[in-house]
Amino acid sequence: MRPRPSKLPHVGTTVFSVVSQLAAEVGAVNLGQGFPDFAPPTELEAALARAVRDGKNQYVPVGGIAPLREAIATGIADRLGVVRDPATEVTVTAGGSEGIFDAITAIVTAGDEVLVLDPSYDLYAPVVALAGGWTNRVPLDPVTFAIDWDRVAAAITPRTRLVIVNSPHNPTGAMWTMSDVARLADLAEAHDLLVISDEVYEHIVFDGRPHVSALAHPGLAARSVVISSFGKSFHCTGWRLGAVVAPPALTRELRKVHQYNTFGAFAPAQWAAAEVLRSATGHLAALGAFYQAKRDRFAAGLARTRFRPLPVAGAYFQLVDYAAISDAPDDAFVRDLCVAHGVAGIPLSPFYAEPPAGQRLIRLCFAKTDATLDEALARLALV
């Protein structure tokens, strides 16, 4: 067989998998890949077991089971005061990732340009490439990670079709504001752009600042695909359960991809999620405070190390500056930290087309038990 060119020549195994494997090999405390090391709510575990026992084990409708879509629409109405139709505007996917894959695949055609804001999650650009599109990566402010809308506006060309935004932001923990939303709405309207708003950390927000959803701005919502993650919100990232909210015409196109991709997310998890979204509403309301306590515990401990923590507004990642410790590039530093000091983190450079010169930042996940965080801090204090 003759060798075929790779469709993704610049992509290897994701940094998250590489770091998790290295952490397992050397027995490091794994603050790399973003997942909780504690259990989902017990009522969710029980609901999943019950769903399997009750025979909820066959294919589901392509949009997802109706009770889950209804619970998602009810949550949006309660939190944002926005009415969305669960039948034609909500789709359940196998994780937020599948929702993003389906949306990009449904929207991007060959030669389209897609604007992505760097640092950006590593899924976006490769999926745009698979769809035949071209990603134009606009840097966020290197200090505050705010969106520079003048740079975004300057990057728009007649071929630009889609903008991908993410708040709360992975990897930086920054959050956008209502004025960001308004600015994007104006640009999208003026240039007839569509938007994917990756809001998978929507419930993990701190210091009383509300999550600002693209759904809350009617003009932007009319051109947006908004991504949610049940796994992020209910401590079960391995269940692969997410949701997409988009206007009917976009939802129709997205479901065409979804039906030939996974067809449906794991059925018993959909039943369990529907039950818990209805009954355990307090869980989501308490999630910000739950993670804020972890953020604060971790940042207080870091103050006793040579790592300098950056401010975190949302999501469950802490950026730390290691310039006082080493001048090594972030990938080499992460490897050394894992092998020699037993703490696994994620370098920031894979989130960029071109990382800012001299940046010495790594990402540490604080979605961990206090015992795990304390063990990591004890090891970091020795670095």
Least Cβ distance, residue 98 to ligand GLN (angstroms): 11
Binding of ligand GLN by 14 (CB under 6 A)? yes
Binding of ligand GLN by 33 (CB under 6 A)? yes
The 3-class secondary structure across the chain, one letter per residue, is CCCCCCCCCCCCCCHHHHHHHHHHHHCCEECCCCCCCCCCCHHHHHHHHHHHHCCCCCCCCCCCCHHHHHHHHHHHHHHHCCCCCHHHHEEEECHHHHHHHHHHHHHCCCCCEEEEEECCCCCHHHHHHHCCCEEEEEECCCCCCCCCHHHHHHHCCCCEEEEEEECCCCCCCCCCCHHHHHHHHHHHHHHCCEEEEECCCCCCECCCCCCCCHHHCHHHHCCEEEEEEHHHHCCCHHHCCEEEECCHHHHHHHHHHHHHHCCCCCHHHHHHHHHHHHHCHHHHHHHHHHHHHHHHHHHHHHCCCCCEECCCCECCEEEEECCCCCCCCHHHHHHHHHHHHCEECEECHHHCCCCCCCCCEEEEECCCCHHHHHHHHHHHCCC
Mask for 117-156, x = binds ligand GLN (CB under 6 A)? ----------------------------------------
Least Cβ distance, residue 231 to ligand GLN (angstroms): 9
Binding residues among 310-369 for ligand GLN as defined by CB under 6 A: none
Binding residues for ligand GLN, total number by CB under 6 A: 5
CB closer to ligand GLN out of 65 and 205: 205
Q: Which of 18, 23, 29, 34 binds ligand GLN (CB under 6 A)?
A: 34
Mask for 185-224, x = binds ligand GLN (CB under 6 A)? ----------------------------------------
CB closer to ligand GLN out of 15 and 193: 15
Least Cβ distance, residue 153 to ligand GLN (angstroms): 28
Least Cβ distance, residue 103 to ligand GLN (angstroms): 17
CB closer to ligand GLN out of 274 and 361: 361
Q: Which of 93, 166, 167, 170 binds ligand GLN (CB under 6 A)?
A: 170
Least Cβ distance, residue 14 to ligand GLN (angstroms): 6
- State the CB neighbour count (10 A cutoff) for residue 26: 14
CB closer to ligand GLN out of 274 and 346: 346
Least Cβ distance, residue 85 to ligand GLN (angstroms): 29
Least Cβ distance, residue 212 to ligand GLN (angstroms): 21
CB closer to ligand GLN out of 14 and 21: 14
Least Cβ distance, residue 207 to ligand GLN (angstroms): 22
CB closer to ligand GLN out of 14 and 292: 14
Mask for 74-113, x = binds ligand GLN (CB under 6 A)? ----------------------------------------
Q: Do the bridges between strand 160-166 and strand 194-198 make them parallel or antiparallel, or are there none, so unpaired?
A: parallel
Question: How far is residue 172's CA from residue 170's CA, in Å, rounded to a whole number?
Answer: 5
Residue nearest to ligand GLN as judged by C-beta position: 34
Crossing angle of helices 267-279 and 66-80, rounded to 10°: 40
Binding site for ligand GLN (CB under 6 A): 14, 16, 33-34, 170
